[in-house]
């Protein structure tokens, strides 16, 4: 595989023009293959279709402005009750001339960029309709998955001319795997992962007809709003923390309905009842040796009150360790010291806390990096360093703030 740097690291989408929905006959020039999977928390609520959208531009050293898809080709992907599901998308013609632009930089000649999109065909016309710049119109098709986005992106690059051998690019179709560190050329038959969700404005931008790059903050592209919708009246919101330290489990949750804290709801985690305790005013469970949670595992949280039910999937981060300071290290009272750890799979951030010698929680930091300074307390004696790798479900704004922790601890001593 060949590395590419600086290629395809910005979002392409939007401007004007309507997509062209075409059906081609004959043998395909290339067939893209992959695996569609469901999001752990929010999922499409019906059948999806698979689309390839060609965008008239690349992002490289001489980037062109973002623009709307010049051509959208569609093929059905059956929605299945069991995922993951394999898919194949045959391409019978190269991208249209309107999708190709002169790029410069590392790419010689004209090129076109394609993203795989999955969408809900809500108006039933068997094509993905772009969103008008005003946001109005009869179609409100919903993009529910894309090969572009996040830390791993898969992009189809078509180049008209032969390229320098060092780029790894060939004339015609190329499949690129793009990360924040750069990109690499993959074999065309390499599987493309495609995660399906309920969709949202960031995905719908890929079908937006107007360029949002440089728009004033007061203007929303294609009528899309990035403010999370408020919960529906009567929604059960569950807030709190679920922690795992080796085999010790601690669950501390609140259930809220229309700003009223409930003490008579039924809460289960992985099928295990979580009782409400009056002394804590919370649904609380603590077990020193538990099989309820495992690192890297996913567990279902269910809250019921009357006929109202909220279900959430929680995933425990995994695989990290504290690397500094060493066990039993001494830190001077009232001074800063550095804490370091390895990365944890599934974590969105890390909470580092120094528990003071008197047993009280001391200094605290929440960071996305794998290190942070902490300040030692003024009191002397044994202390405990606690680092938690934290994951959060994606439905926080709608169903309540929840954190899932994988915890590591280390004994320290605070000295004068």
Rg for the chain (alpha carbons), in Å? Answer: 25
pLDDT above 90 (res 262): yes
The pLDDT of residue 219 is 62
Name which of 245-259, 321-335, 355-369 the model is least confident about. Answer: 355-369
Concatenating the DSSP letter of every residue in 363-378 gives: EEEEESSSEEEEE--S
Domain limits, CATH 2.60.40.10, in the chain: 228-416
Which architecture does CATH list for 228-416?
Sandwich (2.60)
pLDDT in tens, 83-128: 567 888 888 888 888 778 887 777 788 888 888 888 888 888 878 8
Q: What is the pTM of this model?
A: 0.56
Q: pLDDT grade, residue 213 (50/70/90)? A: very low
pLDDT in tens, 120-164: 888 888 788 877 777 766 557 888 889 987 667 899 999 888 888
Cis check: omega of the bond before 84, within 30 degrees of 0: yes
Cβ burial, residue 358 (10 Å; 0-12/13-18/19+)? exposed
Contacts 24+ apart (CB under 8 A), 250-253: 250/285, 250/286, 251/283, 251/284, 251/285, 251/286, 252/280, 252/282, 252/283, 252/284, 253/282, 253/283, 253/284, 253/301, 253/402
């Amino acid at each position: 595989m060949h590395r590419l740097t600086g290629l395809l690291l910005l979002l392409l989408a939007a401007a004007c023009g309507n997509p062209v929905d075409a059906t081609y006959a004959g043998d395909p020039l290339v067939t893209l293959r992959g695996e569609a999977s469901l999001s752990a928390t929010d999922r499409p609520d019906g059948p999806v279709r698979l689309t390839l959208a060609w965008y008239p531009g690349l992002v490289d050293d001489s980037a062109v402005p973002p623009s709307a898809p010049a051509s959208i080709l569609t093929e059905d992907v059956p929605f299945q009750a069991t995922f993951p599901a394999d898919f194949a998308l045959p391409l019978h013609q190269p991208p249209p001339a309107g999708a190709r632009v002169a790029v410069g930089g590392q790419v010689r000649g004209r090129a076109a960029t394609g993203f795989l999109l999955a969408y809900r065909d809500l108006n039933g016309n068997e094509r993905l309709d772009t969103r008008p710049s005003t946001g109005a119109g009869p179609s409100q098709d919903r993009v529910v998955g894309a090969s572009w986005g996040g830390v791993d992106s898969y992009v189809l690059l078509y180049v008209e001319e032969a390229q320098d051998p060092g780029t790894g690019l060939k004339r015609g179709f190329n499949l690129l795997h793009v990360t924040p560190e750069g990109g690499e050329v993959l074999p065309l038959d390499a599987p493309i992962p495609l995660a399906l969700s309920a969709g949202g404005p960031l995905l719908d931008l890929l079908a937006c007809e107007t360029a949002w790059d440089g728009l004033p903050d007061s203007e929303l592209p294609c009528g899309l709003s990035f403010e999370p919708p408020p919960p529906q009246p009567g929604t059960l919101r569950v807030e709190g923390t679920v922690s795992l330290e080796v085999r010790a489990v601690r669950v501390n949750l609140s259930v809220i309905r229309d700003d009223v804290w409930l003490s008579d709801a039924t809460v289960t985690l992985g099928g295990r009842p979580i009782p409400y305790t009056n002394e804590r005013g919370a649904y609380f469970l603590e077990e020193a040796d538990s099989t309820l949670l495992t690192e890297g595992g996913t567990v279902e949280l269910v809250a019921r009150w009357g006929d109202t039910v909220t279900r959430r999937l929680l995933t425990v981060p995994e695989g990290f360790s504290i690397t500094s300071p060493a066990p039993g290290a001494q830190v001077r009272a009232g001074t800063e010291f550095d804490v370091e750890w390895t990365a944890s799979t599934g974590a969105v951030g890390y909470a580092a806390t120094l528990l003071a010698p008197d047993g009280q929680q001391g200094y605290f930091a929440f960071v996305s990096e794998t290190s942070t300074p902490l300040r030692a307390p003024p009191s002397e004696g044994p202390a405990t360093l606690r680092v938690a790798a934290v994951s959060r479900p994606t439905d926080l704004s709608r169903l309540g703030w929840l954190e899932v922790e994988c915890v590591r601890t280390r004994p320290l001593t605070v000295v004068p």
